[in-house]
Copies of this chain bind each other. A is one copy, B any other.
C-alpha cells in the first residue's frame, strides 16, 4: 500500500478535477495545504450513513462504492468511485449528514480537504460555486436515471444498460472486487437474479461472460433490450 504521496501530484490531480477548473496555482496550493491524508483497507467504511463529515474527499487511489443498506441487509449501490473522483459534496457544501455509506472496495487512499477552505472559495469565487452546482446537477441526473431504471425497467434491461454504459470497445472489465454480489447491488437486485440475467443474455448470444470480463457480441440487440 502506497504511503502519503507528495504534494505536487496531488495539486496536479486537483487541477484535472472539474470542480477545481480555472483556479490559479496559489489557490490550489492553499486548498492542498489544508488537506489531510487518509488510507483505507479493502472493506473498510470510509463514511457511515448519517455521519456529519466536514471534509471533501478526493480519491487518490483505489475504488469505493456508495451504498444504502436496508434493515434486511440488502444493498443498493448508488455509484462507484474511481481515482480522481470527489465525494461528500453534500456534507461540505450543504451541511447535510451523508445520506449513504461509502465503503472501500480495495485498498484506497484519499485527501480530505477542509470544509472552511472550500466555503471561503464559494464566497470569493462565483465561478467555483457554478462548478459545484454543475457537479451536483450531474449527480442528480444520474440519480434520476437510476430511479427510472429501478422503477420502469426489468433486471435484464438494467443489466443491458449497465453493460452499454460501462463497456469500452465492447468489453467490460471486472476488477477483482467486481463480484456478482456487487453487480447485483448495482442493479438493485440479489446475486441469483443478476446471474440469471447474465445467463439469459449469454443464452441469446448477445454477450459472452468470461472470468474477468464481459464481451458485447451483439450491440444492437443489447440496445434493443435496454430500451
Each complex incorporates copies of this chain amounting to 2
Which residue of B99, B126, B141, B150 contacts A188 across the interface (Cβ within 8 Å)?
A: B150
Complex: A68 Cα to B153 Cα, angstroms:
12
Per-residue interface assignment for chain A, residues 138 to 153, with 1 indicating a CB less than 8 Å from any chain B CB and 0 otherwise: 1111011111101111
Main secondary structure of the interface of A (DSSP, over half): helix
**Cβ-neighbour of A126 out of B71, B94, B95, B129 (below 8 A):** B129
- The complex places the Cα of A147 from the Cα of B227 at a distance, in Å, of 20
Contact check, B68 vs A152: say whether CB atoms are below 8 A apart. yes
A90 located at the interface, meaning its Cβ lies under 8 Å from any Cβ of chain B in the complex? yes
Considering only CB atoms, which chain B residue lies closest to A97 in the complex? B141
| Cα–Cα, bound, A72→B227 (Å) | 10
CA gap between A152 and B78 in the complex, in Å: 12
Q: Does A136 contact B (CB under 8 A)?
A: yes
- Tell me which residues across on chain B come within 8 A of A209, comparing CB atoms: none
14 new A-B pairs (CB below 8 Å) besides A122-B129, A136-B137? Answer: A68-B148, A68-B151, A68-B152, A71-B227, A72-B152, A93-B130, A94-B138, A99-B140, A129-B133, A139-B140, A140-B143, A147-B147, A147-B150, A150-B151
